[in-house]
Amino acid sequence: MNNLTVEIDKLSKTFVSVKRRAVVIPTSKKEVEALKSVSLDIPRGNVYGLLGPNGAGKTTLVKTLATLVLPTSGTARVLDHDILKQPEYVRAVIGVCQGNERSIYWKLSARENLVFFGKLYRMTQSEAKERADELLGMMGLLEKADEKAEALSHGMRMKIVFARALLHDPEVLLLDEPTQGLDPTFATDLRNHIKRELSHKTILLTTHYMHEADMLCDKIALINEGEIKSLGTPHELKEDVRNYDSLHIRVVGIPDINPIKAMPEVMSASSTSRNGHAELVVTAQDGYDLAHRILNVLHEDQNLKVEHFEVKEPTLDDVFLKLTGRRIED
Amino acid sequence: MQRLSADAPPNNQSGVSSEIVGFTPRTIDWNAVRVFAEKNLRIAMRYPANILVWAFLPLMWFAPYVLMMVAIGGGSSVHFTEISGFEDFIAFAVIGWFVYTYVDTTIWSIGQNFRWEQFSGTLEPLFVAPVPRTSILIGAAISDTVSTSISALIMLGTSCIIFGVGYAVTAIVPIILVLMMMVVALFGFGFMIAGLIIVFKDPSVLTELIDNVVFALSPVSYPIQVLPRAAQVAAYALPATIAIMTIRELAIGGAAEVVSFLSTIGALGLLIVAFWVLGLLCFRYAERWTKKRGSMGGF
Amino acid sequence: MTQSSFNQELQKREGFRSELCAAQAIAVRIWRVELSYPLSVLWFIAMPFVWLIPMLLTGNAVSGGPESVNLETLTGTSDWVSYVAIGTAVLGLTMSLMWGTANAFRREQNAGTLETLMTTPIKKGTLIWGALLHNIQHGGLGVVLQLVGSMLLFGVSLNIWGILPALAIIALMVIGMQGIVLTLVCVVLLAKQGWMVIEFLASGLTLLAPMAYPLAVFPPIIQYIATASPLTWSVDAFRNFLIFGLAGPAANQAVAALLILDTIYLLIGMVLFKRTEKYVRSKGALTQF
């Protein structure tokens, strides 16, 4: 067995939707390339992140690895099992957690849910019960073990979803937006749990939270429009934008950002406004030198009051922006 | 968009606010009823296949009854004629099923309307609109009645051809009158069921139970005389029993006695008042009950 | 419990037995969810009777007593109450099989649990077998309930020598129906309004099956079509065994017909299901079908 746990080999997926008239006559055909020849190898015990905006292909990649979606071409191997030829074997060694509280039975209790799924992973009743209690204890849910999932909070249900993925102690975990929609405390709990307890697992994590990727991942793949644009450690990725600064400016009023965008040193400028205040984020080379000119444009030319000004280190979002021309949270 | 311009005065004297100032909650908002019924019908027309499905499916459900009657009774049954007063038990059953289609629709669709809105994701916008929920129910009931009428007429026509039965059209006006009064009474019955559904939140099983019990009590394929005494009393308290019996008499015999017809109209009038009062009270109570327990979201 | 060895130990447990355990777990889970709705329990008990009572009332209105000369001419028995009560006992089981099993995927999808189930190492068909197992238990209990209730309330008498062969007929019926159900699962997977097809097919098969009347009441062409349905043969043979015992008419013919139909329907169903499931995965439409 080689040291690579997950080997993704030129995986492509094209979704074809055909509009039909009178059920059978095709009128138009639309093709969407969700994955374009994606290759990625994940060594044993590493946490790899897939970072990209909505619709970038992250979930399609996870679903393909989880054998839920058949690729158009290419393949992947999980612990040497081919996802096309041995899907049952793949499913036995992976644990999948999709950030969806609906993926458990609300009419069953936390324990009943875990025991049920345990049996689908070939455990005996006593093994499943023992494992369920072990995981519920780990998640701090033992006291709520016999309450129906519908009576629990969103965060607790998500913990059950997460525990379900760990039931059969899989070597590989596919975590698709595991903290999406969670309140900050629960999200932090879950991240800490992944960091502390699952350090020996091979994990593929999709997220669009940059700090989450930064905190948890050994390496991050930046994915956009079905292609991996760059792969590296968070530190390596940020190397690309080391000369850039991220300028955060808050003003009273609605600014016109076109003159700022027109400056040759500026890589990007965006503005979001709320309650009559606007927040500008400008990414530019040598930001300190540029700050004066930008403030002049806002204050002198546009007569806006600048409330706050700060120069920050570039983030993974800036790396993504440089590579793709769009922000992750677009 | 004048009313939203910056020049518009910011207080209640402006045009935009007068609507809000003049707003008074109503028990039933007939404009909303119309709008909601139109919306439902427009959606129903986008699925013409559904109307056809509902024309032919009930045919497959009641055909076993007719076939069983033929197997047991042969061509005719003296016993049936003695207790019911009708010679042709197939003609008897077909018209019974035609009228019962409306009862079936009332039980299934009015009660479940909120459920469907929830599935299509439009329940919350409807609930936050300043429209009484009873208007939504009535709107749904009216649109359902229109689409049911189309289905039921197709079913009646097809049944006449398949089973070789025919009906008198001389009394069509009184038939329509009785049918309409029954439908209005059924609306009230539907409100009661809607109330039960928002409390029990288990629409399919509850409606299935109610439908089957109402069907067993209604004189659809057998005369009311075959029911035990207590069940007969319960049957008369249902909005459809009297209507089924009268419409059957008019459609098969072509006429009815004036006194008996007028007493039917009077009884249906009473049933309308009783069922609307009961239905609206029941629905309101149920709504308050769920609001108090905060369980509306779960439904 | 060491980490990876536990997973490896689980992986070794593949095979028929593990699939059967998974199917049983699914069946138990459906029971649990069903029983969590109190009205469902009431409905389960009341269902056989609320369907049967209107039929008996209708029959009574026509016959005026417990005997029917016309039925005797057509079937050899004049006891129409037993004839109808035993024939329609299979109705609940048929509906459970057709609706419950065919909608197994749709139900999981509506609940949001389909994808999660599909990421477990069970075979795709196991989800359907699990639902089938539940529906056999559910529908089977319904059959027993209706027959016992009919004996106690309506004076229906059963021939005890026919009970075991009748059970064998039910087993053959379930196999044939499973082939049809697998085809229906494909319809549900591919068509948004698959329920219409199920409704038409379930109602159509029920209509053609001689539950409350013999096939003789149909025109010859429909009688001929009805023989292609395993339900037709099953209902007739089931009732004949329970009324006439082992001396029932044309038992061998029914068993032979069922064996042939079961083989054909099951093969068609399995091939279609395998192809459809692959097609749906290639479309990536597991959550949106």
- According to the model, what pLDDT value does residue A32 have? 86
pLDDT for res B16:
46
A13 touches chain C (CB under 8 A): yes
Say how many domains are in chain B: 1
Residues B114-135 as b/e (b if ≥16 CB within 10 A, e otherwise) read bbebbeeeebeebeeeebbbbb
Interchain contact, B213 vs C196, CB within 8 Å = no
Residue reference for tokens 């029932």: C248
- Cα B140 to Cα B112, B149, B280: the distances in Å are 10, 14, 15
pLDDT at B69 over 70: yes
CA A153 to chain centroid, in Å, comes to 23
Nearest CB to A69; choose among C13, C21, C284: C284
CA distance, residue A136 to nearest chain C CA (Å)? 16
Of B63, B209, B226, the CB nearest to C61: B226
Token pair for A198: 């699952």
Q: Could you tell me if residue B298 is inside a domain?
A: no
Chain A residue at shortest CA distance from C116: A103
Query: What value does the mean pLDDT of chain B take?
Result: 80
Q: What is the largest CA-CA distance in chain B?
A: 85
Mean confidence (pLDDT) of chain A? 87
How many Å apart are CA A148 and CA A105, to the nearest integer?
Answer: 9
Q: How far away is chain B from the Cα of C144, in angstroms, using its nearest Cα?
A: 20
**Residue-level pLDDT at A23:** 55
**Contact indicator for B91, C91 with CB cutoff of 8 Å:** no
DSSP A178: T
Best residue in C34, C42, C60, C62 for a mutation probing chain B (most B CBs within 10 Å):
C62
> Mean pLDDT across the stretch A157-182?
90
Integer-rounded Cα Rg, in Å, for chain C is 21
Q: Note whether A96 contacts C116, CB cutoff 8 Å.
A: yes
Q: Which tokens is A255 given?
A: 């600014």
Is residue B211 a part of any domain in this protein?
yes
Distance from C-alpha of C163 to C-alpha of C148, rounded to nearest angstrom: 13
Residues of B in contact with C42 (CB under 8 A): 205, 209
What confidence category does residue B18 fall into, taking pLDDT thresholds of 50, 70 and 90? very low
3-state secondary structure of B246: helix
Closest residue of chain A to C14, computed from CA coordinates: A122
Domain segments of chain C as ranges: 16-283
Q: How many residues does chain C have?
A: 289
Exposed, middle or buried by CB within 10 Å (0-12, 13-18, 19+), for A112? buried
pLDDT computed for residue C44 by the predictor: 81
Measured CA to CA in angstroms, residue B7 lies from A253, B10, B14, B106 at distances of 20, 9, 10, 51
Percentages helix, strand, coil for chain A, rounded to the nearest 5? 35, 35, 30
Chains contacting chain B through 3 or more C-beta pairs under 8 A: C
Q: Are A98 and C115 in contact (CB under 8 A)?
A: yes
Among C243, C105, C91, smallest CA distance to C165 is for C243
Q: At what angle do helices A125-138 and A154-166 cross, to 10 degrees?
A: 130
Per-residue pLDDT tens over the stretch C51-93: 889 999 999 999 988 889 899 999 888 899 999 999 999 888 8
Averaged over A274-302, what is the pLDDT? 84
- To the nearest whole Å, the CA of A158 is away from the closest chain C CA by 13
Radius of gyration of chain A (CA): 23
State the burial class of residue A174 (Cβ atoms within 10 Å of its Cβ: 0-12, 13-18, 19+): buried
Give the model's pLDDT for residue B292.
65
Distance CA(C8)–CA(A328), nearest Å, equals 38
Residue indicated by tokens 């009431």: C42
C46, C54, C64: residue with CB nearest B79: C64
Of C7, C25, C283, the CB nearest to A120: C25
CB-nearest to C7 from A68, A164, A170 is A170
CB contact under 8 A, C284 and A68: yes
pLDDT at B2 (0 to 100): 35
User: Which residues are CB-contacts of B182 (< 8 A; sequence separation ≥ 6)?
Assistant: B99, B102, B239, B240, B242, B243, B268
pLDDT at B102 over 80: yes
Q: What is the pLDDT of residue A286?
A: 77
C-alpha pair distances (Å), A155 with each of A94, A139, B6, C69: 23, 11, 44, 69
Contact call for A122 and C22, based on CB within 8 A: yes
Q: What is the pLDDT of residues A93-124, one digit of tens each?
A: 999 998 788 888 888 899 999 999 898 888 89
Dihedral in degrees, nearest 10, Cα atoms A218, A224, A230, A231:
20
Q: Are A179 and A99 in contact (CB under 8 A)?
A: yes
> What confidence tier does B121 reach under pLDDT thresholds 50, 70, 90?
low
How far, in Å, CA of A265 to CA of A286, rounded?
8
Q: What is the mean pLDDT of residues B146-151?
A: 88
Is B261 a member of any domain?
yes
Alpha-carbon Rg for chain B, nearest whole angstrom, is 22
B14 is a domain residue: no
Question: How many residue pairs from chains A and C have C-beta atoms closer than 8 A?
Answer: 116
HSE toward the beta carbon, residue C172, CA cutoff 13 A: 28
Cα A86 to Cα A121, A288, C7: the distances in Å are 16, 56, 17
Q: Is residue B116 domain-resident?
A: yes
Q: Which of A248, A233, A249, A247 is nearest to A316 (CA)?
A: A233
User: In this model, does residue C286 exceed pLDDT 80?
Assistant: no
Q: Could you give the 3-state DSSP secondary structure of residue C92?
A: helix
Q: What are the structural domains of chain A?
A: 4-238 (3.40.50.300), 243-313 (3.30.70)
pLDDT tens for residues A177-224?
A: 888 877 788 888 889 989 888 888 999 999 878 888 888 999 999 999
Burial C50-60, CB ≥16 within 10 A → b, else e: bbbbbbbbbbb
Chains in contact with chain C (at least 3 beta-carbon pairs closer than 8 A): A, B
Pairing status of strand A227-232 against strand A219-224: antiparallel
* B13 in a structural domain: no
Nearest to residue C117, comparing CAs of A155, A60, A81, A121? Answer: A121
> Quick one: CA dihedral B149, B151, B152, B157, positive or negative?
positive
Asked if B213 is an interface residue toward chain C (Cβ–Cβ < 8 A), one would say yes
Per-residue pLDDT tens over the stretch A226-264: 999 999 998 888 887 877 888 889 999 888 888 988 888
Partner residues linked to A32 by β-bridges: A15
User: Averaged over C7-18, what is the pLDDT?
Assistant: 84
Nearest-by-Cβ selection for C10 from A88, A108, A122: A122
- State residue B220's pLDDT score: 93
Q: Does the beta-carbon distance from C61 to B79 stay under 8 Å?
A: yes
Task: Inform me whether the pLDDT recorded for B122 exceeds 70.
Answer: no
Place of tokens 């999980």: A78
Q: Is the pLDDT of residue B48 over 80?
A: no
Residue B161 contacts C where some CB pair is shorter than 8 Å: no
Question: CB contact, 8 Å: A81 with chain C?
Answer: no
User: Is pLDDT of C264 > 90?
Assistant: yes
Minimal CA separation from B185 to chain C, in Å = 24
Are the beta carbons of B70 and C213 separated by less than 8 Å? yes
pLDDT interval class at A330 (50, 70, 90): low
Q: Which amino acid is at A182?
A: L
Q: Which tokens in the block code for residue B144?
A: 């359902």
Are C53 and B68 in contact (CB < 8 Å)?
no
What is the bridge-based pairing of β-strands A81-82 and A244-252?
unpaired
C283/chain A closest Cα distance in angstroms = 6
Taking an 8 Å cut-off on Cβ atoms, the answer to whether C113 and A104 are in contact is: yes
Backbone angles phi, psi at C120, to 5 degrees: -85, 160
Range C261-275 average pLDDT: 93
Please tell me the pTM assigned to this model. Answer: 0.76
Of C13, C33, C278, the CB nearest to A105: C33
CA diameter of chain C: 75
CA distances to A276, B239, C193 from B1, in Å = 22, 50, 42
Q: Residue B68 and residue C83: Cα distance in Å, rounded?
A: 11
Q: What type of residue is A65? A: L
Cα C80 from chain centre: 24
C33 contact residues in A (CB cutoff 8 A): 105, 107-108
Q: Show residues of chain C in contact with B78, CB under 8 Å.
A: 64
Q: B215 and C51 in contact by Cβ < 8 A?
A: no
pLDDT-derived band of residue B297, with 50, 70 and 90 as boundaries? Answer: very low
Alpha carbons within 13 A on the beta-carbon side of A181: 15
Helix (H/G/I), strand (E/B), else coil: B184? helix
8-state DSSP, B123: H
Average pLDDT over residues C17-22: 90
Q: Which amino acid is at A132?
A: A
**Residue B290 pLDDT exceeds 80:** no
Distance between CA atoms of residues C111 and A165, nearest Å? 18
Q: Do B71 and C61 touch (CB under 8 A)?
A: no
- Over range B121-125, report the average pLDDT: 63
- Of residues A13 and C112, more confidence is placed in A13
Tell me if B198 is assigned to some domain.
Answer: yes
Dihedral sign from CA coordinates of B5, B6, B12, B14: negative
Residue B22 included in any domain: no
Distance CA C196, CA C188 (A): 10
Q: Which of residues 55-114 of B touch C (CB under 8 A)?
A: 56-57, 60-61, 63-65, 67-74, 77-80, 82-84, 89, 93
- Over residues C1-19, mean pLDDT: 77
pLDDT digits (tens, 9 = 90+) for C126-185: 888 899 999 999 889 989 999 999 999 998 988 888 889 999 999 999 999 888 988 888
CA distance C122 to chain B (A): 30
B203-235 pLDDT tens trace: 677 788 888 889 999 999 999 999 999 999 999
Distance between CA atoms of B1 and B21, rounded to whole angstroms?
Answer: 19
Percent of chain A with pLDDT over 90: 35
Q: Tally DSSP H helices, then E strands, for chain B.
A: 13, 0
Contact B16, B8 (CB under 8 A): yes
The ipTM estimated for the assembled molecules is: 0.85
Range of the domain at B81: 27-293
Strands A172-176, A47-51: parallel, antiparallel or unpaired by DSSP?
Answer: unpaired
Residue C288 has pLDDT above 60, yes or no: no
Of the spans A129-133, A176-180, B145-149, which averages the highest pLDDT?
A129-133
In this model, does residue C273 exceed pLDDT 80? yes
| Residue numbers in A near C118 (CB within 8 A) | 66-68
